[in-house]
Amino acid sequence: MLLAVPWPYELNNVPIMKWIVIVSAVVVAAAALWLGIHQAGLEARVASLLAQNQQLAHDLTNRLSANLDSMQEVQRRLDQTQSALAATEQRLSNLAAQKPSIPRTQPIPRYFPGPLTPLPSGAVVEPRPPASSHSPTGELLTRSWGPEQALGPPDTTDAGDRPTAWATRSPTGGEEWLKLEFQRAVDVAEVRVRETYNPGAISKVTAFLANGQEVTIWEGEEPPGQAPLDTAFPASVPIRSSSVKVYLDTRRVPSWNEIDAVELVGRDGTRQWAFSATASSTYAEP
Ligand SMILES: [Ca+2]
């Protein structure tokens, strides 16, 4: 069949084979041109991308550097803050070390009604009957600072404002007294008084005869001493008695002058603690 088709050997008087060669050459040239143009475009594109890449790398480097600078600045400020904090803590520690220590408060017994407080300045103190260690029906009382706290042997072991010792109503009420009864009358050798808070205010000691007559056996000023203080007041006159009275001039020593116990010593060597007492006043009573 192919042989049946007439094959033109010439076109426009040019052999067909030359046409083929010409067309092929043109196509190859066009392709080469297109490839060249496209390659140039690609090269330009690559160059552009390279340039962008370099710019990005440059920007990234700058930003990293800036961030590094910022981080270094932040770190520097943090270091400064920590140094200031450490210095402040050191100052606080120094201040705490220089702060004077607060004195330890004394333990308060359960029945402690509260610290003694002076009466207001200029307050009028109404005269009161003497305070007793016993109730009107004869029962021994157990009030803090009552005259009953001066009965029996000492039970206030350390110095201080203790409710186990007798205290007057006012710390500076002038003359006050504490009268004590003992079981047996003896020829008085001395009267021993145990003071446990602000000693030194005792001004006189008397003893009572059986008929009730009061006789001074000692008067003067106490030798100085620190509480708890046991002071012996020797009888300057012979007297047989079972009742003694201790006077205080509370203006001699500031604050309360508290007595824990009183002992009667006989010339026969016997010793007795008081079993009953009355007082000019007591902090146990309002
Ligand atoms: Ca006592």
Classify 183 in phi/psi space as left (phi over 0), alpha (psi -120 to 50) or beta: alpha
Alpha carbon of 262 to ligand 1 centroid (Å): 9
One domain for residues 157 and 38: no
Alpha carbon of 201 to ligand 1 centroid (Å): 18
Establish if 261 belongs to a structural domain.
yes
One domain for residues 139 and 274: yes
Alpha carbon of 284 to ligand 1 centroid (Å): 14
What are the CA-CA distances from residue 267 to residues 234, 244, 245 (Å)? 10, 15, 18
Q: Which string of DSSP letters, residue by residue, matches 63-84?
A: HHHHHHHHHHHHHHHHHHHHHH
Establish if 8 belongs to a structural domain.
no
Q: Of the candidates 86, 117, 147, which is a domain's last residue?
A: 86
Residue 116: is its pLDDT beyond 50?
yes
Establish if 95 belongs to a structural domain.
no
Alpha carbon of 269 to ligand 1 centroid (Å): 23
One domain for residues 268 and 186: yes
Alpha carbon of 211 to ligand 1 centroid (Å): 29
pLDDT of 171-221, one tens digit each?
988 999 999 999 999 999 999 999 999 999 999 999 999 999 999 999 999
Alpha carbon of 147 to ligand 1 centroid (Å): 9
Helix, coil or strand: residue 279: strand
Alpha carbon of 120 to ligand 1 centroid (Å): 28
Alpha carbon of 77 to ligand 1 centroid (Å): 68
One domain for residues 136 and 195: yes
Establish if 121 belongs to a structural domain.
no
Domain with 194, as residue range(s), is 131-279
| Listed range (13-17, 88-92, 97-101) with the worst mean pLDDT | 97-101
Q: Of the candidates 86, 117, 139, which is a domain's last residue?
A: 86
Establish if 285 belongs to a structural domain.
no
Q: Is the distance from CB of 176 to CB of 247 less than 8 angstroms?
A: yes
Alpha carbon of 69 to ligand 1 centroid (Å): 80
Establish if 180 belongs to a structural domain.
yes
Alpha carbon of 196 to ligand 1 centroid (Å): 9
pLDDT of 8-65, one tens digit each?
667 777 777 787 787 888 888 887 888 877 788 778 887 877 778 788 777 776 676 6
Residue 78: is its pLDDT beyond 50?
yes
Supply the pLDDT for residue 13.
75
Establish if 149 belongs to a structural domain.
yes
| Rounded CA separation 95/167 (Å) | 41
CB atoms within 10 A of CB 148: 24
One domain for residues 194 and 272: yes
Alpha carbon of 142 to ligand 1 centroid (Å): 11
Side-chain half-sphere exposure of 99, counting CA atoms within 13 A: 9
Q: Is the distance from CB of 151 to CB of 274 less than 8 angstroms?
A: yes
Our count of domains for the chain comes to 2
Sorting pLDDT into bands at 50, 70 and 90, what band is 92? very low
Supply the pLDDT for residue 248.
97
Q: Is the distance from CB of 241 to CB of 207 less than 8 angstroms?
A: yes
One domain for residues 185 and 275: yes
pLDDT of 218-277, one tens digit each?
999 998 899 999 999 999 999 999 999 999 999 999 999 999 999 999 999 999 999 999
One domain for residues 48 and 177: no
Establish if 73 belongs to a structural domain.
yes
Of 257, 261, 262, 263, the C-alpha closest to 281 is: 257
| Rounded CA separation 286/282 (Å) | 8
One domain for residues 145 and 46: no
Higher-scoring residue by pLDDT: 57, 106:
57
Alpha carbon of 215 to ligand 1 centroid (Å): 26
Alpha carbon of 124 to ligand 1 centroid (Å): 29
φ, ψ for residue 169, nearest 5 deg:
-65, -45
Alpha carbon of 226 to ligand 1 centroid (Å): 17
Count Cβ atoms within 10 A of the Cβ of residue 40 and give its class: 0-12 exposed, 13-18 middle, 19 or more buried.
exposed
